[in-house]
Every structure is written in C-alpha cells, then in structure tokens.
Copies of this chain bind each other. A is one copy, B any other.
C-alpha cells in the first residue's frame, strides 16, 4: 500500500539526487488547445527522464537496507540508465540486461554510468533469464521498471512537485500522463488522489500499443491487439499492481494514432523549443484530439523524457 507518507518519504530520499524540474507554459499551444496547459519537464530530469525518480527510490533503499550486493534490471530504455545512475550514486554494482539489438548509444549511456551491460537475445524470455542468471551469480536485487511499489512511489514525486508548484491556489482540473507499464501513471494517480483530490487523472496511450485501455475496461491485464508505434517507451503492458491502482484512481484512458503523436511532438519542439521523446507527446495529442473534454480547463501534463536519437527523427 503506497500512502501519502510513502510518497513523501520517497521524495525526501531522492531529493538530493534529482532536479526539481521546471514547469513550462506556451501561449500558442494554449490557444491551439483552448485550455491552460502546464508542462512538467521531466525531459530536463537526471538521465533525461522521470525514470531517475523511481530508480533512485528503489536503489537507495536496497543499499540502505543492505538487501543485496548489487542491482539488476532488464531494459533497453530509460529505466536502464536510471538504475545505472542510481547504483552509481550509492556505490553499488549494477548489471543491466539489454537485448543485443539495443542501439549502441543506449549501451554506451549505461556503461557511462559505470554499470555492466549483459547482452541477451531480444525476447522477454531471454531478458528474464538474463536477470535470473545475474541474480544467482552476483546476489543482485531486481529493480523492476514499474511492477514495484518503491519505483511507483518514486515516479509519484513528479506529480507531487507539479501540484505543489502550480496546483496550490487553483487546483488542476486534470493531470495527464502517458501509460506504458503504468508506473508513472500509478504514481501520478496516487499523488493526485492524496494531494489534489478534486483533480481527474487521465492517461494517453498509443493506438499501436493499446493494452491499458482494454485492461482498464475488463479489469484483467490484457495484451495489446498489436504493437506498432513510434512511442517506444510505451510498448509494455500493465501489471496486476499498476492495473489495480489505475482502476481505483484514473478517470479515463484516451488513445491516439502515431500521426497525432508526431504532430503533437513537433508542436512542442517548434513552439516550446524543447526536446521530448515521442512517448511524451501522447498526452498533448490526446488533449488536441478531444478538445471538448478539456476546453477551458487547467491541465497538467507530465513530459516524461527527452532521450531521442537525433539521427532518426520522424520529421
């Protein structure tokens, strides 16, 4: 059970290691949306993504409680960097299992934080086997990217800061986050539930990885009908843990197409002059697609990260 106190303790624990990221606004985008948008810029966070928060909250506790002699996880994305970064802060070895097909630049980023990269075949089975092998060999503790209360409590601190900084005098009508495995969305929903109970939480999901909207409706963890989206951070499915929190505290999940995601991404790049990943643009794409749902409202949006390959841009 993640309480308000859990989230407050997570924030106190990770605060020395993270940025309290800026909240930006843009007049043109407000006019385009017909609403008042506040963007929480986790693309400016350590390692370039909100994942630093959850990774730190878990790794700091593993180290403090001496739960293991090392940390491991499997990820080809921002969570890999987050765990490597966090492990370096506490001086514990990290073993990151990555598919051999992962971009070299991502492997180098993990190596740059002093972690070990264990290559495996690009399947979920091979990744999980790789982690089990590391755990058996090194005594490492697994820090899962989202199916972990400590990770969720860490991710919750982004919405906590957004509410504290901007939602004081006049609460947000809505806070939006994208949904992949549901760690950020769960944390966002919990912080909002505790700190701004009148605020709805709505998720954006790519049509090309639309599992969460099915699970949300059925109450079972469902698989996406197909996986094909530019939002490469959002391809994973929910877990029982994240689904339960999302069913309890999220109002709605809205899906958007890849062209809508790219258009929203381009709007943020061109107008706000900041670099965001495609996954980040999903909530804005949802707001622009469903203007009637958001007209005239005060809206918070978590911009999740800015780690893009400049050589492979969609425009």
Query: Quick one: given A22-B22, A266-B310, A310-B266, are A43 and B273 in contact (CB under 8 Å)?
Result: yes
Q: Name A274's contact: one of B266, B274, B310, B311 (CB within 8 Å).
A: B274
A22 contact set on B, CB distance < 8 A: 22
Q: Is the CB of A310 within 8 A of B315?
A: yes
Tell me the count of chain A residues lying within 8 A, CB to CB, of chain B: 17
A136 within 8 A of B: no
Question: Could you give, for residues 21-46 of chain A, a 1 whenever the CB lies within 8 Å of some chain B CB and a 0 otherwise?
Answer: 01000000000000000000001100
Question: Could you give, for residues 304-315 of chain A, a 1 whenever the CB lies within 8 Å of some chain B CB and a 0 otherwise?
Answer: 001000110101
Residue of B nearest to A44 (CB): B273
Query: Quick one: given A310-B266, A310-B313, A311-B315, are A273 and B275 in contact (CB under 8 Å)?
Result: yes
- Within the assembled complex, what's the spacing in Å between the Cα atoms of A313 and B315? 10
A204 within 8 A of B: no
A169 within 8 A of B: no
A48 within 8 A of B: yes
Q: Within the complex, what minimum Cβ distance (angstroms) separates A307 from chain B? A: 8
Residue of B nearest to A24 (CB): B44
Residue of B nearest to A305 (CB): B273
A273 contact set on B, CB distance < 8 A: 43-44, 48, 274-276, 306
A48 contact set on B, CB distance < 8 A: 273
> Which A residues between 45 and 86 are near B, CB-CB below 8 angstroms?
48
A276 contact set on B, CB distance < 8 A: 273
A269 within 8 A of B: yes
- Within the assembled complex, what's the spacing in Å between the Cα atoms of A313 and B275? 14
A270 within 8 A of B: yes
A275 contact set on B, CB distance < 8 A: 269, 273-275
Q: Within the complex, what minimum Cβ distance (angstroms) separates A148 from chain B? A: 26
Residue from A22, A266, A306, A311 with most neighbouring chain B CB atoms (10 Å) = A306
Question: Could you give, for residues 146-159 of chain A, a 1 whenever the CB lies within 8 Å of some chain B CB and a 0 otherwise?
Answer: 00000000000000
A311 contact set on B, CB distance < 8 A: 315
A310 contact set on B, CB distance < 8 A: 266, 269-270, 313, 315
A266 contact set on B, CB distance < 8 A: 310
Q: Within the complex, what minimum Cβ distance (angstroms) separates A40 from chain B? A: 14
| A-B pairs with beta carbons under 8 Å apart, 20 shown | A22-B22, A43-B273, A44-B272, A44-B273, A48-B273, A266-B310, A269-B275, A269-B310, A270-B310, A273-B274, A273-B275, A273-B276, A273-B306, A274-B274, A274-B275, A275-B275, A310-B313, A310-B315, A311-B315, A313-B313
6 new A-B contacts at CB < 8 Å, known A43-B273, A266-B310, A273-B276: A44-B273, A273-B306, A274-B274, A275-B275, A310-B313, A310-B315
